[in-house]
Amino acid sequence: MTTIVLIRKNNEVVVAGDGQVSMGNTVVKSTAAKVRKIDKRSVVAGFAGSTADALTLFERLEAKLEKHAGNLSRAAVELAKDWRTDKYLRRLEALMAVGDKEKSYIISGTGDVLEPEGDVIGIGSGGNYALAAGKVLMDTNMNAEEVAKKAIKVASEICVFTNDNITTKKV
């Protein structure tokens, strides 16, 4: 598992993720990059779950964004539809937190496309810890990137499947 947090604050959108890859109770890598940016469409995404599955979904999201002229809402819904109904994709085990300048979503393999009520999304094994920390830190003078990094750091101190090798991307 992993921990991903998306923070939307002061016209910035930042996705941060830890670097730990675990197989069962063993850490096999501590510096994985689980956060990606689609520069052409100003979209950032973070993935929790199987790395290969997440990369497959990221490629699909990028294709959907191209097909729908950068409309993140439409691309997210179309990806979720494919994910839920396609025989191959249905087996993928991952969650995605995606955002652009206007919208943020959690996309799941069950066909869910959820827009959070607030400006913080947390997914993965330490997602709830990062979510709670992020919500508290939103009321500080910290910028979006600082909030995201601190939220992952807090999660890494609680969740054994999360470390503090943090990668961030912003739009």
Whether residue 2 lies in the annotated active site: yes
Specify burial of residue 7 (Cβ count, 10 A radius: 0-12, 13-18, 19+).
Answer: buried
Please spell the DSSP secondary structure of 66-94, one letter per residue: HHTTT-HHHHHHHHHHHHHH-TTGGG--E
Retrieve residue 20's tokens. 């730990």
Retrieve residue 84's tokens. 């839920």
* Catalytic residue, candidates 2, 3, 162, 167: 2
- Positions annotated as catalytic residues are 2
